[in-house]
Amino acid sequence: METPSSIVIAGAGQAGAVAAATLRELGYAGALTLVGQEPHPPYERPPLSKAVLQDEAAAASTAVHPESFYRARDVQLITGAPVRALDPDARALRLADGRTLHYDRCLLATGGQARELPGLPRGTAGVHYIRTLDDAAALRRALRPGAAVVVVGGGFLGLEVASTARALNAHVTLLEAAPRLLERALPEAFSHWLAARVRQAGVTLRLDCRVRSIEPGAPARITLEDGAELQADVLVVAIGLVPSVELARTAGLAIDAATGGIRVDSACRSSDPHVYAAGDCASQHRAELDACLRLESWQNANEQARAAAAGMLGLPRPAAAYPWFWTDQYGCNVQILGMPQPGLAYACRGQADPADEAPRFVWIGQRDGVPVHGIAVNAGGDLRQLRVLFERGLPIDPLRFADAAEPLKPLVKACQAAAAGA
């Protein structure tokens, strides 16, 4: 494959910014344009539900790259410019402001938008959706000590926003429709642990709780399915993400019906060989699971950006990382390695008391002794020690793992040595 002479990246978020950097690191010297609809240069989204809500100054430290990066790497950064259309025949992107950007290769890193509640579109007074830096800044201004805050949606985002609001001494109610927290990502016992932790922090958590109607206003009035009524000075809706795939869909690219993402291969190439997709908007086939996954994580955005950059240059795909995710909430840095699977046996190392000021423990879910799902609370270093066992499929004795008196590093080394000698 010949080296492309021009690459345009649509979407200036995590994936877009990392793809631009990776293209230059890989030696691509042609024209490189990064175009985004937001007014800001690319920034990291994880702090939006945490530091940016607490501290006005924190917004400044969210940039993915230093300001000097774009000039130094000769990346043309166009901000505040929504893309209206992808024209695959002309190999061009049409911007809302009338400009046309031609490409040899195009990367769609268009991310997604906050899913809206029916009848509560973005912009409704007193209603907050959290996706952008500006969204987070608006919520920060609204979060006052003593304010009644209702968060609809107990996913990672809702949990983090509720945690931050509670830390700012708001009265926080968190509503989750499912019978337990994070049921797709966590084993049931950990969901219960987390629910106890959330309540310990003083958040009123309602599980199995569906909203019947919301009347916006100051305060907003929320009626639940069971007839209960709540009032909210601040209403935060965090019920998931809708991938932004309209450009791809209108251009006739294949969309994965199950995930709603742009279908891509292992090199992140879409059904159009000149167009790639990465990050929240991409649905990628995973050979190890024999399924298409659309992952909404920081790690996935970075990893697919690197894979797409290599793919666009015709270089081999970098080695895939074990899926990893983190969330900071209720005084806990929670790290998750791998994905939950049916029938795993979980073992716990450390003290899992939700009332501890700083609990510290690791759970691993094992199949035939091999850890495939790990959850660390304030123990990311321990999970990192264990990662080699996940990556190489090596077993560990659950009883020795659970014995916190036994140092972990030598134990992991022994597991590796046993496998090498076997």
For other proteins, the closer of residues 29 and 60 by Cβ is: 60
Q: What minimum distance in Å lies between the beta carbon of 40 and other proteins? A: 15
Taking CB under 8 A as the rule, does residue 44 contact other proteins?
yes
Tokens of 296: 């909404």
Task: Among 16, 20, 33, 65, indicate the residue that binds other proteins (CB under 8 A).
Answer: 65
For other proteins, the closer of residues 183 and 328 by Cβ is: 328
Taking CB under 8 A as the rule, does residue 381 contact other proteins?
yes
CA distances in angstroms from 133 to 43, 51, 156, listed in the order given = 8, 11, 17
For other proteins, the closer of residues 35 and 332 by Cβ is: 332
Q: Give me the residues paired with residue 335 across strands.
A: 326, 376
Taking CB under 8 A as the rule, does residue 265 contact other proteins?
no
For other proteins, the closer of residues 18 and 23 by Cβ is: 18
**Residue type for 84, please?**
R
Tokens of 98: 């009338």
Task: Among 26, 63, 292, 370, indicate the residue that binds other proteins (CB under 8 A).
Answer: 63
Mode of pairing for the β-strands spanning 291-293 and 83-87: unpaired
Q: What minimum distance in Å lies between the beta carbon of 99 and other proteins? A: 30
- Neighbouring residues of 366: CB distance < 8 A, sequence distance ≥ 6: 344, 345, 346, 347, 372, 395, 396, 398
Torsion sign across C-alpha atoms 386, 384, 21, 38: positive
Tokens of 15: 């994936």
Taking CB under 8 A as the rule, does residue 357 contact other proteins?
no
Taking CB under 8 A as the rule, does residue 333 contact other proteins?
yes
Tokens of 267: 């090199």
Tokens of 58: 């924190």
Q: Pick the stretch among 63-71, 149-157, 164-172, 195-203 that binds other proteins (CB under 8 A).
A: 63-71
d(CA 278, CA 303): 9
d(CA 300, CA 156): 16
Q: What minimum distance in Å lies between the beta carbon of 383 and other proteins? A: 9
Taking CB under 8 A as the rule, does residue 322 contact other proteins?
no
Tokens of 179: 């019978």
For other proteins, the closer of residues 153 and 323 by Cβ is: 323
Tokens of 289: 């699971």
Q: One symbol per residue from 120 to 139: x for binding other proteins (CB under 8 A), - otherwise; what is it?
A: --------------------
- Long-range contact set of residues 415-419: C-beta below 8 Å, sequence gap at least 24: 415/389, 416/388, 416/389, 416/392, 418/394, 419/392, 419/394, 419/395
Q: Pick the stretch among 26-34, 143-151, 180-188, 320-328 that binds other proteins (CB under 8 A).
A: 320-328
Residues that contact other proteins, how many (by CB under 8 A) = 18
Q: Which of 257, 110, 273 is nearest to 265 (CA)?
A: 273
Task: Among 8, 18, 108, 241, indicate the residue that binds other proteins (CB under 8 A).
Answer: 18
Taking CB under 8 A as the rule, does residue 358 contact other proteins?
no
Q: What minimum distance in Å lies between the beta carbon of 328 and other proteins? A: 8
Taking CB under 8 A as the rule, does residue 103 contact other proteins?
no
Taking CB under 8 A as the rule, does residue 331 contact other proteins?
no
Task: Among 3, 223, 385, 416, indicate the residue that binds other proteins (CB under 8 A).
Answer: 385
Taking CB under 8 A as the rule, does residue 324 contact other proteins?
yes
CA angle, 348 as apex, 347 and 352 as ends, to 5°?
A: 150
Q: What minimum distance in Å lies between the beta carbon of 365 and other proteins? A: 21
Taking CB under 8 A as the rule, does residue 66 contact other proteins?
yes
d(CA 286, CA 309): 19
d(CA 207, CA 154): 9
For other proteins, the closer of residues 216 and 350 by Cβ is: 350
Q: What minimum distance in Å lies between the beta carbon of 151 and other proteins? A: 23
For other proteins, the closer of residues 328 and 397 by Cβ is: 328
Tokens of 245: 């795939």
d(CA 323, CA 387): 11
Interface ranges with other proteins (CB under 8 A): 18, 44, 46, 63-66, 298, 302, 324, 326, 328, 333, 379-381, 384-385
